[in-house]
Structure 1
Amino acid sequence: MKNILITGGAGFIGSNIALKLIDKGFKVTVLDNLSPQIHGDNPENTSPLYRNIINKVKFIEGSVTSKEDWINALENQDAIIHLAAETGTGQSMYEIKKYIDVNIGGTAMMLDFLANNAHQVKKVIIASSRAIYGEGKYNCTKHGIVYPVEREDKDMESGDFSCKCPLCKKNVELLPTSEDSKIHPTSVYGITKQNQEQLVLTVCKSLNIAAVSYRYQNVYGPGQSLSNPYTGILSIFSTRIKNGNEINIFEDGKETRDFVFIEDIAQATILGLEKEEANGKVYNVGTGVATDVITVANTLAKYYELEVPIQVSGNYRLGDIRHNFADISKIKSDLGFEPQWDFDKGIQAFTGWVNEQEIPVDKYELSIEEMKNKGLYK
């Protein structure tokens, strides 16, 4: 396989994978709509991600919701890395049709073409997400392994943000989430990622096309959008800090995520492209380490050497999960994947890059106001 199509290939993850594939001798085509929310209004000037790839790939400006764009993009392709998607859990809860149309509809259009037209595609890699798990795996002292349901508004309003056993309602202990854990997303975004994964694995199997699904954890690193206030806590916090604005930490600040550096994401994805052992399988991609949000804020402030108020507000968003970190033993065993970047090393690289960028306009308050108006922010 030498000709690789990356949908969403001008984005943060896609552009990094594209450059690494080019270095390995692959020919890369990118289909991307250059969304202003990510790339700005004039990508040639406002999007370093786009500029990084523009003269190195065959670039098609278009949408995964357009049949004509798919026909154009799929010509002579050996494999597809399908990353194009609307992202962000909060925004997905009120831009529902948009998320369904792009994430599910775009994937369906790709598969429909593969099922009904001549092509040479041999493998499809789909970007899934840790969001499909909702709350991850926990241990209850009475009932063993359990999967908590979405937290109650009334509990969070009273300051109780912990996850409960769905059987006895007692607090439970966090465990790493493995690929065989219960799938029960708590956001529209998570639902669309679950559907994308299921569609690709099911249809590709029937077409004798190899398929691999990657459930990415919280991806970060140099190049990610600093102007998008809807996704990426590291970008949101960085933009706040660089503008001298207060950091508003939701809940009690003890909520955790598994932050995985972009270089490790690219490495894992390319392993899935090249290794037959990955075919037909799903993999978590993370570090296997849970980092709480207070640590995130304090670490960023330390490396920026800037002091801003850090306020643990008790605010919360409906649809947010409390915790999730990955069990990555499967991808280690099958593909030999080993994360090379721990959180501290990755944050140093990320903040060093941010310090070289023009300070973006902070749109965080506007995004919060949107969620308030929709009744999703408390």
Structure 2
Amino acid sequence: MVQSAGSCVVTGGAGFIGCALSGPLADAGYDVVAVDVLHPQVHERRERPAALDERARLEVADVTDAATWDRLLERLRPDVVVHLAAETGTAQSLTESTRHAHVNVVGTTTMLDALVRHEVLPRRVVLASSRAVYGEGTWVGADGQAVQPGQRSHAVLEAGRWQPEGLRPLPAGDPRMVPAPTSVYGATKLAQEHVLRAWALAVGVEPVVLRLQNVYGAGQSLSNPYTGIVPLFARLARAGEAIPVYEDGAILRDFVHVGDVARALLAAVTQDAVPAGAVDIGSGTATSIHDLARRVAARYDAPPPQVTGRFRDGDVRAAWADVTRAHDELGWSPSVELPEGLEELCAWIDEVQGADIIG
């Protein structure tokens, strides 16, 4: 029998990452309480997900509602909080800014206020942040000088000027990278980081911030139009359609398997030392969107991907992580390579025939 490690509250705990984390947390001896509103955009059937470990207790409640925390903290003293609850659609955040700010920022402050109000301060709060906080990031020229190109405007994108001329991008984790969000979503995630760190250091709670790259894997919501590019490509190819590829196809992303992300979060919960500053979590490999599309199309014998020249306002050209600090400070390294992870995801989609089994 595993010795109890205490209680762990996971906000957004019935979501994709929360479900993947629930088993490892329970295996480590934590009494897991998943707090989730079961939003219909993610949980189509609004019922307990089959992927949520049976040992986890599910509280269907809204993290932005102070009454949620009053009810919960009357009977629970969490040793650790893993804060996953967030609105995540980059494009959606441009048209639903209030919703993203309310959930991501006000939801965080509501939780923190309640912890103080009930005098229930956890040992540690782990925040799942995002690579979106970097925006377009930092690039370097041939002379080695670091440059912040800033957000690509609509006019620049419409003219097909996809990336800064004569510059190459740096990975997240490079010391020259400076957060500069280009989406409302990214701005709210950076605000979460600042709010948590200021609060935690003032009240004596350990803050741990992990900035996640593009997370994918079996169990990802298939009904949510903002769920992620990997399952979207798989669904299109499975239907025999040509995958549309934006810009010139050379957009770079870092696709990290959900199992690896769960291990990183578990390390953030359990290890003794707290990393100094945010830690980037990814596969450590930059993959072009065109390459991803070709891999998925080949898996389903679908037509070749079509480069469309279309674009999304607020999107960034290149994003991937240097995971050296994750290894050094969390003892974590990615273990699932993209071909293996894609096959697992596609096999799962084939099994459920496009049905959303997360909720």
Q: TM-score, normalised by structure 1?
A: 0.88
Matches within 5 A, 1:64-143: 64-74=63-73, 75-142=76-143
1:248 corresponds, among 244, 249, 256, to 244
Partner of 2:256: 260
Measure, in 1, the Cα distance between the counterparts of 2:235 and 2:68.
Answer: 34
**Quick one: which amino acid aligns to residue 266 of structure 1?**
A
Deviation at 1:239, TM superposition (A): 1.9
Matched, 1:274 2:270: yes
CA distance in 1, matches of 2:12, 2:170: 32
Of the structure 1 ranges 216-225 and 171-180, higher mean CA displacement relative to structure 2 is found in 171-180
State the distance in 1 between where 2:285 and 2:101 align: 31
Correspondence for 2:43: 39
User: What is the CA deviation profile of residues 274-310 of structure 1, one whole-angstrom value per residue up to 9, with x for unaligned ones?
Assistant: 112225531000121100011111111222x331352
1:21 corresponds in structure 2 to 25
Alignment of 1:166-205 (within 5 A): 170-178=165-173, 180=175, 181-205=177-201
Q: What's the CA shift for 1:6?
A: 0.3
1:89-126 per-residue CA deviation (whole Å, 9 max, x = no partner) reads 00010011100110000001111122333114111001
Distance in 2 of aligned mates of 1:310 and 1:301: 7
- Does the residue aligned with 1:89 lie in a helix, a strand or coil? coil
Structure 2 residue 354 is the aligned partner of structure 1 residue 356: no
**Alignment check: 8 A CA contact 1:18 1:28 kept:** yes
Residue 183 (structure 1) shift:
0.9
Distance in 2 separating the partners of 1:309 and 1:176? 29
Task: Provide the rounded CA distance (Å) in 1 between the counterparts of 2:225 and 2:243.
Answer: 13
Question: Which sections of structure 1, spanning at least 5 residues, go unmatched?
Answer: 45-49, 165-169, 362-378
Provide the rounded CA distance (Å) in 1 between the counterparts of 2:71 and 2:321.
37
CA distance in 2, matches of 1:266, 1:54: 13
What residue ranges of structure 2 are gaps of 5+ in the alignment?
Answer: none
Which SS does the other structure have where 1:51 is aligned? coil
Could you tell me whether the CA contact under 8 Å between 1:258 and 1:326 is conserved in 2?
A: yes
Q: Please give the secondary structure, in 1, of the residue aligned with 2:352.
A: coil
**What is the distance in 2 between the residues matched to 1:359 and 1:267?**
27
CA contact (8 A) 2:140 2:146 kept: yes
Q: Is the CA contact (8 Å cut-off) linking 1:179 and 1:284 kept in structure 2?
A: no
Shift of 1:43: 2.8
More helix per residue: 1 or 2? 1
Q: Structure 1 residue 143: deviation in Å?
A: 6.2
Does the CA-based 8 Å contact 1:5-1:73 persist in structure 2? no
Determine the structure 1 residue equivalent to 2:298.
302
Match of 2:288 in 1: 292
What do the CA deviations read for 1:133-157 (whole angstroms, capped 9, x no partner)? 0012311124611222011322322
How far apart, CA to CA, are the structure 2 residues paired with 1:203 and 1:55?
Answer: 33
Q: CA deviation at 1:355?
A: 1.3
SS at match of 1:60: strand
> How far apart in 2 are the matches of 1:148 and 1:294?
23
Q: TM-score when scaled to structure 2?
A: 0.93
Aligned to 2:218: 222
The higher-RCO structure (CA 8 Å, 6+ apart) is 2
Identity across the alignment (%): 35
Aligned residue number for residue 315 of structure 2: 320
**Bigger mean CA offset, 187-196 vs 294-303:** 294-303
- For 1:52, the aligned partner's letter is A
Once residues 217 and 52 of structure 2 are traced to their aligned partners in structure 1, the CA distance between those partners, rounded to angstroms, is 17
SS at match of 1:194: helix
Residues 251 and 317 in structure 2, CA contact (< 8 A), matched pair in contact too: yes
CA-atom RMSD in angstroms:
1.7
Of the candidates 8, 17, 28, which is equivalent to residue 12 of structure 2?
8
- How far apart, CA to CA, are the structure 2 residues paired with 1:7 and 1:330? 26
Pair 1:78–1:179, CA change in 2 (3 A): farther
**Number of residue pairs aligned between Structure 1 and Structure 2:** 349
Mapped to 2, the partners of 1:208 and 1:179 lie a distance apart of 29
Q: For the structure 1 residues 179 and 276, does the alpha-carbon distance in structure 2 shift closer, same or farther, using more than 3 Å as the test? A: farther
Structure 1 Cα separation of the partners of residues 174 and 349 of structure 2: 34
Asked if the contact 1:239–1:360 (Cα under 8 Å) also holds between the matched residues in 2, the reply is no
1:346 aligns with 2:341: yes
